[in-house]
């Protein structure tokens, strides 16, 4: 039996929530480095083109599907397929996204725990004059400690589930209304700090000096892939957030704003990070190595470094937290809408399941490091590969196909509410360009091209 659904109060709260879903660790530890090593501003131009021709149309599609049905992804696809007189099997597209979100949170929460632990390291002054060797040892010791990993994973899960349990208006909306502005406020403080003590000129040169010779097919595929993943597409989060959106809000305008905010944050974080990296004559890198090994060295040799390190890791924690909230919401919405189970209890039960997955992931760095479950990969890498290489690209591709070729045209037009010219542009990008791009991403991730 369906319970009362929540709704966003206005366009602003929807934008903040969806931007929070999109703003994640990838924009902080991956995008700036990708820009720097793939041609600077030349790569930025390619990336922005990918955002506009692939990311934005697909986000519009996912929001449209959610708002049309006003249901969780599983029920939404079931209803929309029935409206289009199509196979009921389409409902499993929604289910796949929900499962992907749960699996992703299973390892994402562990990474979120790493971030929380580094806030405490910074507050304890652990980064002061730290050497590269000691920074590496600190991170290795964290990974080898099941107790620490499980403890911080548990804290991060409690934070996430506490917000989700409170519902749309009291939980998701209030949290994002606070966390996203706070995230940007911290970013501005860090930018000011980097401009005063860092090498902003070197950071700007690394990220924005144009080198079109580096725009290779592989670089373009990297831009395509990040444009897709950076907007949280294919996992049902955007769809369920769209299902809470009011009918009078423009999907196109809102989506463009979200994409611009998401991209701008990645660029500004990159400048703040690499100004500190280059000021300390460190080698720029990406991923966990950048956040948990290189940056502590940079902060450790800067004035008031531990204070600003704590601020930086708080920013990263906020980005991870808002993304984590969106990962679990589709499945919670399904339980609440299809049963009489109350949201807090549903959140508790699902939280325990994800917490157990996270425990397995935590143990995979130490006592279970020799266990492999997929193609020779350990637990952490198996979950990452399964979701990011298979489930999310496949979900995005099938959503584009459904919206473009299965859904009734007048339903699309009613929801998108675009003029003839802009509707035609959306149709070309969603029906032709985006599916071809996702296929290329899919083949690239599988190692079949590039």
pLDDT digits (tens, 9 = 90+) for 403-442: 999 999 999 999 999 999 999 999 999 999 999 998 888 8
Q: What are the structure tokens assigned to 146, written together?
A: 């099941």
Gap between the Cα atoms of 68 and 414, Å rounded? 9
User: What letter does residue 316 receive in the DSSP assignment?
Assistant: H
Q: DSSP for 166-235?
A: THIIIIIIHHHHHHHHHHHHHHHHHHHHHHHHS-HHHHHHHHHS--GGG--HHHHHHHHHHHHHTTTTTS
Grade residue 385 by pLDDT with cuts at 50, 70 and 90: confident
Triad 356, 359, 363: Cα angle to 5°: 150
Gap between the Cα atoms of 197 and 304, Å rounded? 10
pLDDT at position 4 is: 60
The overall pTM is greater than 0.85? yes
Gap between the Cα atoms of 243 and 248, Å rounded? 13
Instruction: Tell me the domains of the chain and their CATH numbers.
Output: 11-445 (1.20.1740.10)
pLDDT in tens, 303-337: 999 999 999 999 999 999 999 999 999 999 999 99
pLDDT at position 341 is: 94
Q: 450 pLDDT exceeds 70?
A: no
| Closest to 410 (Cα-Cα) out of 64, 149, 164 | 64
pLDDT at position 443 is: 86
Gap between the Cα atoms of 164 and 326, Å rounded? 9
pLDDT at position 90 is: 97
Gap between the Cα atoms of 335 and 346, Å rounded? 7
Matching residue, tokens 């996702």:
438
């Amino acid at each position: 039996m369906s319970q009362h659904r929540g709704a966003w109060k206005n366009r602003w709260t929807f934008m903040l929530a969806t931007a929070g879903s999109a703003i994640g660790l990838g924009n902080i530890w991956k995008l700036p480095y990708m820009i720097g090593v793939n041609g600077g501003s030349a790569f930025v131009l390619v990336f922005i083109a990918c955002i506009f021709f692939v990311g934005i149309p697909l986000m519009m599609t996912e929001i449209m599907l959610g708002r049309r049905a006003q249901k969780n992804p599983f029920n939404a696809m079931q209803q929309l397929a029935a409206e289009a007189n199509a196979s009921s099997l389409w409902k499993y597209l929604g289910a796949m996204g929900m499962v992907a979100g749960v699996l992703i949170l299973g390892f994402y929460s562990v990474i979120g725990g790493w971030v929380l632990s580094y806030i405490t390291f910074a507050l304890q002054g652990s980064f002061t004059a730290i050497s590269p060797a000691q920074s590496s040892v600190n991170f290795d010791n964290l990974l080898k400690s099941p107790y620490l990993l499980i403890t911080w994973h548990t804290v991060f899960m409690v934070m996430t589930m506490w917000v989700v349990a409170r519902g749309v208006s009291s939980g998701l909306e209030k949290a994002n209304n606070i966390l996203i502005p706070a995230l940007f406020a911290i970013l501005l403080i860090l930018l000011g700090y980097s401009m005063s003590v860092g090498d902003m000129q070197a950071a700007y040169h690394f990220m924005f000096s144009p080198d079109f010779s580096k725009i290779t097919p592989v670089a373009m595929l990297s831009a395509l892939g990040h444009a897709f993943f950076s907007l949280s597409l294919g996992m049902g989060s955007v769809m369920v957030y769209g299902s809470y959106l009011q009918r009078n809000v423009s999907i196109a305008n809102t989506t463009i704003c979200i994409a611009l905010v998401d991209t701008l944050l990645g660029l500004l974080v990159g400048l703040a990070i690499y100004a500190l990296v280059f000021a300390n004559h460190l080698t720029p890198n990406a991923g966990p190595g950048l956040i948990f090994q290189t940056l502590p060295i940079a902060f450790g040799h800067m004035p008031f470094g531990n204070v600003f390190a704590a601020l930086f890791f708080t920013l990263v924690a906020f980005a991870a937290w808002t993304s984590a909230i969106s990962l679990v919401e589709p499945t919670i919405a399904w339980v609440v809408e299809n049963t009489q189970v109350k949201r807090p209890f549903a959140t508790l039960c699902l939280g325990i399941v994800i917490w157990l997955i996270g425990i397995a992931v935590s143990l995979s760095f130490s006592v279970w490091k020799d266990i492999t479950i997929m193609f020779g990969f350990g637990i952490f890498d198996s979950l990452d590969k399964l979701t990011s290489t298979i489930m999310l690209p496949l979900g995005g591709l099938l959503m584009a196909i459904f919206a473009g070729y299965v859904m009734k045209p007048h339903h699309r037009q009613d929801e998108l509410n675009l003029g003839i010219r802009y509707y035609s542009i959306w149709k070309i990008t969603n029906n032709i360009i985006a599916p071809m791009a996702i296929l290329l991403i899919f083949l690239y991730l599988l190692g079949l091209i590039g």
